[in-house]
């Protein structure tokens, strides 16, 4: 039943109703982006004045377009939407994405009435609606997008959000760590197609490996939870419920006219469905990035390496507080350490303090190899001590060497591995570039990066929680 | 009693024992940095071979130096330290900073014995010790530092840490938001001078407005808490206790040989002393940045503006969950809104969704001025919707205009204000530059910035907690 919506992502022709000459208007951007990203089908501009858009002709109505039209993006004002739907019905349009807002989210009864009328007309015509009050679709493979800086190269992550702004941040945050998205959906008020429809689709979509969902409310509670359970049984799904507080609930109502509901109940229901609840943008970005790169694993015994003493103490504290276990070296490892380093073998511990290692014949990558091979550890976290190193330009050469040695260990003996590379703002361009380079190397090796050990710990624990729950059901 | 340590920061002459020709060695860096940063007093290089360092002569011992020497930085190996102390005693040296490590932190009894011998010799000679196993002093005003990228321009913040790595991150994180540090202390094992001594000094130091302290253990429990209480009664002091967990405690012992102790007891004691407990580097950076810029305030009624609907919902949720109160507009504000915007006045709410404002005659800065003037709000948080805007290069011009209008409101009607500017990694240099520019403008206006609304909310609540506790005692 899920894949029936696949046609949404594969329109043969798209018309932008409300296409504008003004480059600051979204009606201009939709049209321009389809051209720029190489959408293969026909693209039509529609505006009531029939003025040229981006040097090409436009049509005064959808009906006037010569060929067939599958998919219409509406940026026309709300009162013009019922007429547009009737036109689309006559034309045989299958899907309308309503970027158009100012419906029920205004809190005005006349706008809510208009919204109900829009739905009724679409349903009579068998047209499915995305929105209103949403940014619509991004589907890199077909050259469909809604914002210039959403990456054009596709991957297997999905972001779904009622909010357009959150959809963008849910993509750009992980993208900076090498995560790429296949499909992104900003569906606003969810008037017709809602979260349950999309989740059922993504449960079956073979192009999708992980789903991030930002939600303000649900239209059909039971159907939503069933759909969530279906996805979670197939692939990780991370759910951030907005409107958990009184003030958040009020904001939800003026944003997408959703009913917020009680926070504790929501998180319990999300967890019970086997999905992964998070509470803000940072947690969403971290969790999706972790799931994207990491294989399924359930063990929490964590080996940590790199950074000086202060970083080691912090790593141990925040990992254990997040529910990971930073266990001391097993005898097999201490015996190996002692053999090569009779002087300081007993000074070394988990986390491995890189500054102590300076006094030892053991090199960091050799020690990480030992930890990676050990059946006593389920995952390995490496701290790249970037803030310390970046005081001198040589770091741009030294840091990649250190990192590559660790990634080589991972390539030889795969075990869940994460790398902490700070994104603390750097005053100099070469420093920023050096960190970007480190993140790219990790992504190329299939290793997730996190901006702090605290955020890494929390995300990694969520990964184990998800797979433990899944395992318990199997 | 506190300011007696002021001489530590004002040596007339400094000798680096273990000064090296090798630019990768810290014994080279200390010497070079004193020259580069324009330390006004005499600087001497000491090494046993008497080889030239950085093109200048060196001395084979401290005793050989012709003039008086106040302050000695030791990078010699641990076994050479007792001899160095005796030399320094004969020379009349007042302070020795022992960068030298591998004492009690190794866990070896002979090294612990050596450490005790070092202390005894120093005490007999009336020499005070900083360290061992610490990076020492950074004091921008006198041109003293230990890392190249610690800013040379001074401010009124202080970072104190047993860990050198954490000291550096505690400075660089806030520095990226415009916070400048007067004094930074990395004091390692705290063998002689310890946290209590330094806190007593900073309590009275007129150059210091806020103190951040990373601590692994304390040498003198009661004296420490008394000193902490003294500082807290004068100025904000943020305390991050490392080694809260079993694994963290083990790491603490191999790092600075400190005794970790129970986490709940620690945090209760810190809070009871009127200081501000935090749990990791991000929280430390956020809290120090908040205290540095914000005036004392205790109210939690928060007005939030900027960003689209999703950001508004998130802002409301995370602020209320942090203990701030995101109260609806009072009647005085809704009346004013209605007068100028009869259509959408009742759609607007707190947080102010910038995309709704697009439909209103009210401009964002006008609305923020209304909120700033209202006695119903204690603080104002502005979301700069950078991720949304940065899809097109025009953002580099548009974002500063928007921000400057908000900062002008703040200049006219001071009320605690914070700005959220993401530091999510940007793929393009102009985007990073644009965000750096926004942060600089805020800092110049005395307004703190935070990388996420969740981190802003938590830090701002800590500011009110501190001043409430202080107020209750007065």
Domain boundary among A293, A311, A338: A293
Q: Has residue B457 got a pLDDT over 80?
A: yes
**B260: DSSP letter:** -
Q: Are residues B241 and B352 in the same domain?
A: no
Residue A260: per-residue pLDDT: 64
Q: Is A30 exposed, middle or buried (0-12, 13-18, 19+ CB in 10 A)?
A: buried
* The last residue of a domain, from among B100, B115, B131: B131
User: Which of A149, A313, A344 is opposite residue B255, by nearest beta carbon?
Assistant: A313
Task: Express each pLDDT in B98-115 by its tens digit.
Answer: 999 999 999 999 999 999
The reply to whether B278 and B305 lie within a common domain is no
Of B67, B15, B2, which is closest to residue B43 (Cα–Cα)?
Answer: B15
pLDDT tens sequence across A402-451: 999 999 999 999 999 999 998 767 778 899 999 999 999 999 999 999 99
Residues of A with Cβ-Cβ distance to B173 under 8 angstroms: 424
Chain position carrying tokens 């024992």: B17
Q: What is the tens place of the pLDDT at every residue in B388-415?
A: 999 989 999 999 999 999 999 999 999 9
Based on the domain organization, do B233 and B267 belong to the same domain?
yes
Q: How far apart are the first and last CA of chain A?
A: 23
**How would residue B474 be classed by pLDDT, with cut points 50, 70 and 90?**
confident
Q: Domain span at residue A356?
A: 295-473
Cis amide linkage into residue B132, ω under 30° from 0: yes
| Tokens representing residue B143 in the block | 């041109």
Torsion over CA of A191, A193, A194 and A195, rounded to 10 degrees? -160
Task: Please tell me whether residues A128 and A143 are part of one structural domain.
Answer: no
Mean pLDDT over all residues of chain A? 95
Is residue B285 a contact partner of residue B170, using CB atoms and an 8 Å limit? Answer: yes
CB contact under 8 A, B280 and A318: yes
Quick one: average pLDDT of B367-383?
Answer: 97
- b vs e for B431-451, b when ≥16 Cβ sit within 10 Å of the residue's Cβ? bbebbbebbebbbebbbbbbb
Question: Residues A254, A311: one domain?
Answer: no
Go through chain B and tell me how many residues it has.
474
pLDDT above 90: residue A298: yes
Name which of A30, A162, A169, A247 to mutate to probe chain B: the one with the most chain B Cβ atoms within 10 A of its Cβ.
A247
Query: Which residues in chain B have Cβ-Cβ distances shorter than 8 Å to A317?
Result: 242-245, 247-248, 279-280
If pLDDT is split at 50, 70 and 90, which confidence band does B260 have? low
pLDDT at A34: 97
Which backbone phi and psi does A96 adopt, to 5 degrees?
-120, 125
Q: Which of B10-19, B332-341, B351-360 has the lowest mean pLDDT?
A: B351-360
* Of the candidates A321, A319, A328, the residue with the CA atom closest to the CA atom of residue A420: A319
Task: State the CB neighbour count (10 A cutoff) for residue B474.
Answer: 5
Q: State phi, psi for B347 to the nearest 5 degrees.
A: -85, -30
d(CA A150, CA A145): 7
Q: Is residue A263 located within the same domain as residue A392?
A: no
Helix B309-322 to helix A164-175 angle, to the nearest 10 degrees?
80
Give percent above pLDDT 70 in chain A: 99
Its pTM stands at 0.96
CB-based contact B423 A423, cutoff 8 Å: yes
Asked whether residue B47 falls in the same domain as residue B26, the answer is: yes
pLDDT at A426 (0 to 100):
75
* Beta strands per DSSP E along A203-311: 210-215, 237-241, 276-278, 302-305
Over the stretch B266-319, which tens digit does the pLDDT of each residue have?
A: 889 999 999 999 999 999 999 999 999 999 999 999 999 999 999 999 999 999
**CA–CA distance, A257 with A268 (Å, rounded to integer):** 23
pLDDT at A263: 77
Neighbours of A199 (CB within 10 A): 27
- pLDDT by residue (tens digit) across A202-257? 999 999 999 999 999 888 899 999 999 999 999 999 999 999 889 999 998 888 87
Three-state secondary-structure class, residue A45:
strand
Q: How do residues B222-259 score in pLDDT, each as one tens digit?
A: 999 999 999 999 999 999 999 988 999 999 888 887 76
State the virtual CA torsion across B407, B409, B415, B417 in degrees, nearest 10.
-30
pLDDT on residue A347: 94
Report whether B139 contacts B182 (CB < 8 A). yes
Torsion of CA A345, A346, A352, A355, to 10 degrees: -70
Beta bridge partners of B449: B419
Residues in B touching A107 (Cβ below 8 Å):
346-347
Ranges A309-323, A342-356, A459-473, B262-276: which has the least confidence:
B262-276
Note whether A389 and A466 are same-domain residues: yes
Alpha carbons within 13 angstroms on the beta-carbon side of residue A464 total 17
CA distance A93 to A99: 16
Residue B212, strand partner residues = B159, B238
Residue of B nearest to A429 (CA): B429
How high is the ipTM of this complex? 0.95
Q: Is the peptide bond before A376 cis (omega within 30 degrees of 0)?
A: no
Q: By percentage, how much of chain A surpasses pLDDT 90? A: 88
Above 70 in pLDDT, residue A384? yes
Q: Which residue of B353, B425, B439 is in closest CB contact with A436?
A: B425
Task: Report pLDDT for B262.
Answer: 73
| The pLDDT of residue A141 | 96
Residues B303 and B432 in one domain: yes
Can you list the positions of beta strands (E) in B268-387? 276-278, 302-305, 379-383
Strand ranges for B279-358 from DSSP E:
302-305
Nearest CA-CA distance, residue B14 and chain A, Å: 23
Q: Could A311 and B165 be called an inter-chain contact, meaning their C-beta atoms sit closer than 8 Å?
A: yes
Of A175, A347, A453, the CB nearest to B254: A347
Q: Based on the domain organization, do B78 and B167 belong to the same domain?
A: no
CB of B211 within 8 A of CB of B198?
no
> Nearest residue of B to residue A244 by CA position?
B317
State whether B182 and B141 are in the same domain: yes
**pLDDT at residue A102, as a whole number:** 96
Nearest to A227 by CA among A198, A248, A206: A198
CA A161 – CA A170 distance, rounded (Å): 9
What is residue B259's predicted lDDT score, i.e. its pLDDT? 67
| A317·B281 Cβ contact <8 A | no
Say what the pLDDT of residue A424 is.
66
pLDDT digits (tens, 9 = 90+) for A91-104: 999 999 999 999 99
* Beta-carbon separation of B149 and A243 below 8 A: no
By the 8 A CB rule, do B450 and B459 touch?
yes
> By three-state DSSP, how is residue B112 classified?
helix
The CATH number of the domain where B251 resides is what? 3.40.50.261
Of B276, B293, B310, the domain-final residue: B293
Cβ–Cβ of B452/A280 closer than 8 Å? Answer: yes
- pLDDT at residue B139 greater than cutoff 60: yes
Q: Domain check: are B42 and B185 in the same one?
A: no
What sign has the CA pseudo-torsion B343, B345, B346, B350?
positive
**Number of domains chain A contains:** 3
What is the reported pLDDT for A253?
85
List strands edge to edge, sheet with A379-383. Answer: A302-305, A379-383, A417-420, A449-450
Report pLDDT digits (tens) over B49-103: 988 999 989 999 999 999 999 999 999 999 999 999 999 999 999 999 999 999 9
Q: Return the exposure string of A407-431: e unless at least 16 CB atoms fall within 10 Å of the residue's CB, then b.
A: bebbeeeebbbbbbbbbbbbeeeeb
For residue B261, pLDDT beyond 80? no
Hey, which residues 227-286 in chain B have their CB within 8 Å of chain A?
242-248, 250-252, 254-256, 279-282, 285
Determine how many CB atoms are found less than 10 A away from the CB of residue A248.
Answer: 27
Contacts of A242 in chain B (CB under 8 A): 310, 313-314, 317
């Amino acid at each position: 039943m899920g894949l029936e919506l696949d046609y949404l992502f594969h329109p043969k022709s798209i018309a932008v109703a409300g296409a504008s000459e003004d480059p600051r208007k979204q009606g201009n951007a939709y049209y321009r982006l389809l051209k720029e990203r190489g959408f293969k089908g026909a693209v039509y501009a529609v505006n009531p004045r029939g003025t040229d858009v981006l040097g090409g002709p436009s049509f005064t109505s959808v009906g006037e377009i010569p060929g067939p039209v599958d998919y219409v993006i509406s940026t026309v004002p709300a009162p013009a939407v019922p007429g547009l739907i009737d036109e689309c019905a006559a034309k045989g349009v299958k899907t309308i994405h309503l970027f158009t807002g100012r419906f029920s989210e205004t809190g005005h009864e006349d706008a809510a009435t208009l919204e109900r009328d829009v739905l009724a007309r679409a349903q009579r015509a068998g047209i499915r609606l995305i929105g209103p009050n949403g940014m619509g679709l991004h589907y890199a493979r077909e050259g469909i997008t809604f914002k210039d800086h959403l990456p054009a190269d596709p991957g297997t992550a999905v972001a779904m959000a009622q909010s357009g702004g959150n959809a963008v941040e849910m993509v750009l945050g992980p993208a900076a760590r090498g995560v790429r998205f296949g499909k992104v959906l900003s569906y606003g008020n969810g008037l017709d197609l809602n979260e349950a429809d999309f989740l059922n689709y993504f449960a079956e979509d073979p192009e999708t490996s992980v789903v991030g969902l930002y939600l303000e409310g649900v239209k059909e509670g039971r159907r939503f939870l069933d759909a969530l359970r279906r996805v979670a049984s197939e692939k990780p799904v991370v759910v951030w419920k907005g409107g958990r507080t009184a003030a958040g609930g009020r904001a939800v109502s003026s944003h997408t006219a959703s009913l917020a509901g009680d926070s504790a109940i929501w998180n319990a229901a999300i967890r019970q469905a086997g999905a992964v609840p998070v509470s803000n943008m940072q947690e969403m970005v971290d969790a999706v990035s972790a799931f994207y790169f990491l294989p399924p694993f359930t063990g929490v015994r964590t080996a940590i390496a790199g950074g000086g003493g202060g970083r080691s103490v912090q790593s141990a504290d925040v990992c254990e507080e997040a529910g990971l276990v930073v266990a001391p070296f097993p005898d097999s490892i201490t015996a190996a350490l002692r053999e090569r380093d009779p002087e300081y073998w007993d000074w070394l511990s988990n986390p491995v303090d890189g500054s102590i290692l300076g006094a030892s014949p053991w090199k960091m990558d050799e020690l990480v190899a030992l930890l990676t091979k050990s059946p006593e550890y389920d995952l390995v976290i490496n701290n790249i001590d970037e803030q310390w190193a970046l005081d001198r330009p040589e770091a741009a050469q030294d840091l990649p060497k250190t990192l590559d040695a660790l990634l080589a260990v991972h390539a030889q003996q795969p075990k869940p591995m994460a790398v902490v590379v700070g994104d603390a703002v750097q005053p100099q361009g070469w420093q920023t570039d050096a960190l970007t380079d480190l993140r790219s190397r990790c992504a190329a090796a299939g290793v997730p990066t996190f901006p702090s050990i605290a955020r890494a710990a929390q995300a990694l624990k969520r990964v184990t929680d998800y797979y433990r729950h899944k395992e318990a059901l199997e």
